[in-house]
Amino acid sequence: MNVIRIEKLQNHRALIPLVAGWLHREWGAISAYHAPLNEVVRLQHHAATDSAPFTLISFWRNLPVGCVSVVFHDNFEQPWLTNLYVDPVYRERSVGTALVQAASLEASKAAFQKLMLVTGDQAAFFARLGWRILATQHFGSTLTIMEKSLLPQTCLEADLLVPQTYPAINTDHHLSPR
């Protein structure tokens, strides 16, 4: 039984205050952008659209335990993955991975070619999920800007990017038709 379920916030509008609280507690101390009222207004907008910006909610069994958003930032054509939050009790249980993968899939369905993100200390996590580092900047702390292509790879690109290994062929036994 799969215990992680991901759904759009627009199907769970009653959870907007909970999600706003998560985001404020996680990032409110470092940015007025995450003030509770600002979060509620932004999340209401996410819940009112069928495309980006959108927010996804993760459920562990039926308990909401995390979220992620895909938004647009000024001066950038590509959407950004942001607001990845998992309740501390449910971290290290693949909830964050499921949220990032679901957000990437939804962005791909909306015909976006790539996603961008900025992270402080989770670059290795995103790299394991196929994100590529574009730049690292130091502003008192390290910020890493990353991107992920949402385009399907051609066979040639896949061959160039992923080392291919094939099982050894046993030449001691010859197959013959029977």
Domains and CATH numbers, the chain: 4-161 (3.40.630.30)
- Dist CA 71 CA 52 (whole Å): 6
Smallest CA-to-CA distance from 6 within 65, 49, 53 is with 65
Q: Model's pTM, two decimal places?
A: 0.79
Mean pLDDT calculated for residue range 63-92: 91
More confident residue, 127 or 40: 127
The per-residue pLDDT for 33 is 57
Residue count of the chain, please give it: 178
With contact defined as beta carbons under 8 Å apart, do 59 and 36 qualify?
A: no
Q: Is 35 exposed, middle or buried (0-12, 13-18, 19+ CB in 10 A)?
A: middle
pLDDT one-digit tens code per residue, 89-147:
999 999 999 999 999 999 999 999 999 999 989 999 999 999 999 999 987 888 999 99
More confident residue, 87 or 26: 87
The per-residue pLDDT for 37 is 63
Strands (E), the chain: 4-8, 54-60, 63-71, 80-86, 114-119, 132-138, 142-149
pLDDT one-digit tens code per residue, 21-37:
898 888 765 665 555 56
